[in-house]
Structure 1
Amino acid sequence: MFIQPWDAALDEAEWQTWIAEGHDFGLLSVNGLLGRAPLTAPTHFVPDGERLLIHLARPNPVWESIEYDPNVTFTVIGDYAFVPGPWRAKPGTPADEGVPTSYYAAVQFVCLAHIVDEPEAKAALLRRQMAHFQPAGDHAPVEADEPPYGRMLSGIRGLTLEVREVRAKFKYDDHKPVEHRAAVADRLTDRDHALDEPTARQQRRRLNRIGPWKP
């Protein structure tokens, strides 16, 4: 992922907070076997210290590739919007000469994958996931030797992704003048399509922290 200086995370807390705010669904990318294309798998995940916890169905085709090469990337994308060219036209130039762009936040975790197959270890992984996604505890006990989940464990495999590197990008035109960024955020709010409003919030948040961009 290419990151311009003005698109970089301002600190580790920025991307960590963004993930913690509910961005817990991403795309697992694994290296393809020799002569084959890379494989991807969309899935929820749970941050757990320096690891990400996920599980996938046993028939998923990613397993053979992970066993061959456990180096993987997990990507989370959100708060994105298309910004039309006229919104970005420079002052004094025709609106139709403006160059469109995409705004988005993205965090990539470069990881070493560890497959979890032992039943109790899988149950422990699922308990951690359930505590994240169903904190009210409104589910049956997740135990390796008890129904209903015990008999289902053979149909899944767990993964702990040991995070080796984090690449975070917040692409919201932070190198543009303050007035320009504020105006685009207002236009996103007015348009209010799909993820326009959360995108506008990210742009305003970055604007408040950065102010005028200083190379």
Structure 2
Amino acid sequence: MLIQPWDAGLDDSEWQTWIADGHDFGLLSVNGLPGQSPTVVPTHFTSDGNDLLVHLARPNPVWQTIECDPNVTFTVIGDYAFVPGPWRAKPDTPPTDGVPTSYYAAVQFTCQAHIVDEPEAKAELLRRQMAHFQPAGDHAPVAVDEPPYGRMLPGIRGLRLAVTDVRAKFKYDDHKPVEHRTAVADHLTERAEGLDLPAARQQLRRVNRVGPWKS
């Protein structure tokens, strides 16, 4: 993805905090076999140190491709909003001359995929995911020899994605004047549709950190 200097993550803690703040669903992209298109799979994920953990159904078409080429990309997108042209018009121009844009946050992981097939290793992967998604522990034990999960383990395969590179983008008009960005955040808060409110929060957070853009 294209990352302009003013859209780039400010430091690693910025994207790490954003991911930890409930952004745990993304798109796994794997290269296609010769003559085939790439395959993209939407899925939840959890983190284990620097690795991402995923499990998918055994019939999923990604497995043959990953076995041939383990280089994959995992992309997480959120806090997006459409910003209409009049909100971005310069003060000395008609509102209709404003050019619309999209706001969003995105974190893209380049990874080496390692397939997890051994039953106990798959159970441990699921336990880590359940600890994240159901921390109250209101579920049956995830064990190889106990129902219901034991009999379901053969139907899935796990993926441990070893992250080799991270690219983060926070596209919220940081190159525009502070007054402009604050006014757009106000518009988003007033409209309050879809993900307008979290987009406004991201924009104001960046305003507070970046201030006036300096190249």
Q: Same fold, TM exceeding 0.5? A: yes
Paired position in structure 2 for 1:204: 204
* Paired amino acid for 1:64: Q
Alignment of 1:65-76 (within 5 A): 65-76=65-76
Deviation at 1:48, TM superposition (A): 1.0
Deviation at 1:146, TM superposition (A): 1.4
1:176 corresponds to 2:176? yes
Alignment of 1:32-47 (within 5 A): 32-47=32-47
* Percent of aligned pairs with the same amino acid: 79
CA distance in 1 between counterparts of 2:24 and 2:205 reads: 21
CA distance in 2 between counterparts of 1:47 and 1:77 reads: 16
Deviation at 1:214, TM superposition (A): 0.6
Alignment of 1:104-119 (within 5 A): 104-119=104-119
Deviation at 1:145, TM superposition (A): 1.4
Paired position in structure 1 for 2:131: 131
* Paired amino acid for 1:59: P
CA distance in 1 between counterparts of 2:60 and 2:211 reads: 46
* Paired amino acid for 1:123: A
Q: Structure 1 runs of 4+ off > 4 angstroms?
A: none
Deviation at 1:36, TM superposition (A): 0.4
CA distance in 2 between counterparts of 1:184 and 1:147 reads: 52
Q: Secondary structure at the match of 1:138?
A: coil
Number of residue pairs the alignment of both structures matches = 215
| Residues 23-43 of structure 1 deviation map (CA, whole Å, 9 limit, x = unaligned) | 000000000000100001000
Alignment of 1:88-99 (within 5 A): 88-99=88-99
* Paired amino acid for 1:50: N
Deviation at 1:91, TM superposition (A): 1.6
* Paired amino acid for 1:3: I
Deviation at 1:10, TM superposition (A): 0.5
| Residues 127-165 of structure 1 deviation map (CA, whole Å, 9 limit, x = unaligned) | 000000001111111011111111100000000000000
| Residues 157-214 of structure 1 deviation map (CA, whole Å, 9 limit, x = unaligned) | 0000000000000000000000000000000000010000000000000000110001
Paired position in structure 1 for 2:156: 156
